[in-house]
Amino acid sequence: MTDPVWILGIHMTKFGKHPDKDVVDLGAEATMAALADAGMTMADVGILAAGNLLGSGGGFGQQLQKQVGQTGIPVYNVANACATGATALRTAIMAVKAGEVDVGLAVGVEKLAGAGLLGGGGKSKSDGDEWQPAGRYGAVAPIDGRIGTETMPGVFAQIGMEYSHRYGGADFDLFARISEKNHAHSTLNPLAAYQKRFTVDEIKNDVMIAYPNTRPMCSANCDGGAAAVVVSDEKLRSLSGDQQRRAVKVAASVLTTDPWEDACQVLPNVNTLTRNAARTAYEQAGVGPDDLDLVELHDCFATAELVHYDNLMLCEEGGAADFFESGAPWRDGTTPVNVSGGLQSKGHPISATGIANVWEVCHHLRGEAGDRQIEGASVGLAHVIGLGSACGVHILERHAA
């Protein structure tokens, strides 16, 4: 049993529109606040793991250093789609765990306000003068829209509908009610991009994007950043009582990819890699799903939240619809899920998400979540999926003392 790693300082910026700030500004804001929360400066930090997919033109970590402090420490610029933030955090944790550094910093930032549909397009959709086979399938024309869909709302709609086909119990109405829950939760989160409650009818009658996902059932593209300072157990014991009391234990830190399975070449399987990550995380932490006081899971679409109830083993296999119908994932239920408002209303600035959900859990474990505090929270889980695929799961525990 190795010594635990601790989150000493963590911060999430307001999610939403930040037209006056670029990605480096947002990253710097998150970094400075996380360092202040930790009671540290860049002089203490031994490694920086940085994530940004769009807008920095590469080398985001080095650009960030120039904004907040260039000390010559190693920078790892990481990318793992929507799991980029969790990958940065895990990279910093691994460096501390390996004993190479006492203090690591992880930062994730994205500017996505107004980005529109993600996943499809990317090249001209106009057909050429001559049919010319190209690419891995020898395609003579773009296949998005001709051989199924490549846009995220449609891909994740199919993921939810496949679950419905396999187990039953989930329909348009149930998916809309999952979204209703998260939007209701968001009204208590001042940092959420949207804090508006919707009725189920309003959700169902909103603009259809990819059945059964209407617009409010899709993650909100927005700007945001998040950063975390992690320290070794030995380092923590050298710090003040207040720093020790507020430190949050990283009880499990896991990253997985999707193993080969039939059908994964035509529809990404986000289930097995999440199940594998959860199983490993519960083993590492020595806790089970029943011990969790809150869960922040990757509800990039309402259809995705449903399958992850099952994948994270919050319910029996095949029982996700019943789990939701029981009221369990509402904030007053037995396993509150996405009390932040989730990606559908808090927002989803891709690379920030995997640290922002850890911030949300830490906020509750420290008893600092204000109006949305889950009383007495002592253990929580944060989960992200990056399509392609990567899954990050972190289990966090309140400091015992």
Partner 1 sequence: MAEQIPLVDYLVLGDEPHLVAHECTSCGARFFDRRNACASCFGTEFRDVDVPDEGTLRSFTIVAHAAPGIPVPFVSGIVDCDGTAVRGNVINVDPDPDHVRLGMTLRLATYSLGTDQQGTEAIGFGFEPTEAT
Please give the positions annotated as active site: 82, 348
Kindly identify the residues of this chain, within the stretch 191-220, that bind partner 1 according to CB under 8 A: 207-213
**Residues 217-256 vs partner 1: string with x where CB under 8 A?**
----------------------------------------
Residues 7/364, Cβ–Cβ less than 8 Å: no
- Kindly state whether residue 151 participates in binding partner 1, applying the rule CB under 8 A: yes
Element (H, E) at 393: strand 390-398
Confirm or reject binding of residue 267 to partner 1 (CB under 8 A): yes
Angle between helical axes of 302-311 and 172-186 (0-180°, round to 10) = 90
Cβ-based nearer residue to partner 1, 19 or 137: 137
Q: Residue 318 or residue 327: which is nearer to partner 1 going by CB? A: 318
| Of residues 40 and 159, the one with the C-beta less far from partner 1 | 159
DSSP 22-74: -HHHHHHHHHHHHHHHHT--GGG--EEEEE--SSS-S-HHHHHHHHH------
Q: How far is the CB of 143 from partner 1 (least distance, A)?
A: 7
Could you say whether residue 174 binds partner 1 (CB under 8 A)?
A: no
Specify the DSSP class assigned to residue 95: H
Tokens of 138: 């020898």
Stretch of 44-52, 261-269, 308-316, 363-371 lying at the interface with partner 1 (CB under 8 A): 261-269
C-alpha separations of 301 from 77, 292, 307, 308, 372 in Å:
27, 23, 11, 11, 22
What region, left, alpha or beta, does residue 318 occupy, with left being phi > 0 and alpha being psi -120 to 50 degrees?
Answer: left
Burial (CB count within 10 angstroms: exposed 0-12, middle 13-18, buried 19+), residue 238: exposed
Q: Does 390 bind partner 1 (CB under 8 A)?
A: no
Site string for partner 1, 115-144 (x = CB under 8 A): --x--xxx-xxxxxxxx-x--xxxxxx-xx
- The nearer residue to partner 1, 108 or 154, going by C-beta atoms, is 154
Residues that bind partner 1 (CB under 8 A): 117, 120-122, 124-131, 133, 136-141, 143-149, 151, 153-155, 157-159, 161-162, 164-165, 172, 207-213, 260, 262-263, 265-267
